[in-house]
Amino acid sequence: MQLGATSIQDTFAEAFGMRFARLLITAHDDFWLEAAVREITGYSSSVIACDAETGLERRLSADVTPDGRPGAMVLVFGFSREALAKCVPTRIGQCVMTCPTTAVYDGLPDAESRVPLGKHLRFFGDGFQKSKLLDGKRYWRIPVMDGEFLVQEDLGIAKGVGGGNIIIQTQTQRAGLAAARRAVEALADMDGVIAPFPGGVARSGSKVGSRYKGLPASTADAFCPTLRGRVESKLHSDANCAYEVVIDGVSEGAVAAAMTVAIRAAAAGDVIAIGAGNYGGKLGKYQFHLHELLKS
């Protein structure tokens, strides 16, 4: 299949069922909000080695947040409810409670599955913390050096999908970088999805396993241009550069829509091919076939 001058490979992305939390973070102004978002979304590109995959879903204007201040929705993905119950309070405590002026609310208020948040963080108040019940929701006010940190007692957890992806192949690094940025920027206006890698882009795609004992994943050698001729390459014969855009979403439909948007945004005259990464259909529950996405 051709999309203009770009060949869309007849392949599929293989994705996994995950769980996610949606955090609504507010702050005094955009500067401190950005600081909090930067911190909480750090070191969170892949659950291969990180405790979660996180990213900014969307920004919120002050007129739609609970406290009338600038806000942001942040999605946090993990493989289980238990994993999120462990990592989310830690990230909030270290990365958001420490950030001046912030507050944290639950972005999934109707979710039946819930994990503690303020219920754990309140102990930092050393007995001086106070709780408040508003509209059936409990909040904790934890004393800090600029006043109080307000945090909701618990968070909703819902089912999502992680690991949707496209792999952009170009002749030059410059063309690959531009195409990858177009793909990620096109996702910025979409609700329900994040691209958790740096700038939304991964240059170190991975395969399952390694020749080294105990390493669960290693470089995707089939997409490494310097290994062409030494391994069975999946690169187009004219490609010297490949970038992967990984997408996590709140549903199968959200990931499918985001992949379609990313493909269309990335395709251009200097993009040789767009494919995807998979494990032969043996590991992930979800398969996103590129040709089917574009036809639909």
Digit-coded pLDDT (tens) for 155-200: 999 999 999 999 999 999 999 999 999 999 999 999 999 999 999 9
Measure the CA–CA gap between 75 and 156, rounded to whole angstroms: 12
Tally of domains within the chain: 2
Residue ranges making up the domain that contains 224: 2-15+161-295
Are residues 174 and 231 located together in one domain of the fold? yes
Question: Would you mind telling me the total number of residues written for the chain in this entry?
Answer: 296
Tell me the per-residue pLDDT of 31-78, one tens digit each, with 9 for 90 and over.
Answer: 999 999 999 999 999 999 999 999 999 999 999 999 999 999 999 999
Contact 265, 183 (CB under 8 A): yes
Last residue of a domain, one of 109, 131, 158: 158
Q: How far is CA 148 from the centre of its chain?
A: 29
* Beta carbons of 13 and 263 less than 8 angstroms apart: no
CB 57 within 8 A of CB 73: yes
pLDDT in tens, 68-78: 999 999 999 99
Which CATH number goes with the domain that contains 279? 3.30.70.520
Strand partners, 5: none
Boundary residue ending a domain (124, 158, 192): 158
| Whether residue 150 sits in one domain with residue 28 | yes
Instruction: Identify whether residues 181 and 272 lie together within a single domain.
Output: yes
Structure tokens at 130: 């106070």
Last residue of a domain, one of 108, 130, 158: 158
For the chain, helix (H) and strand (E) counts, in that order, are 6, 17
Please state the pTM of the whole predicted model.
0.95
Q: First CA to last CA across the chain, in angstroms? A: 14
Three-state secondary-structure class, residue 165: strand
Pairing of strands 12-26, 103-106: antiparallel
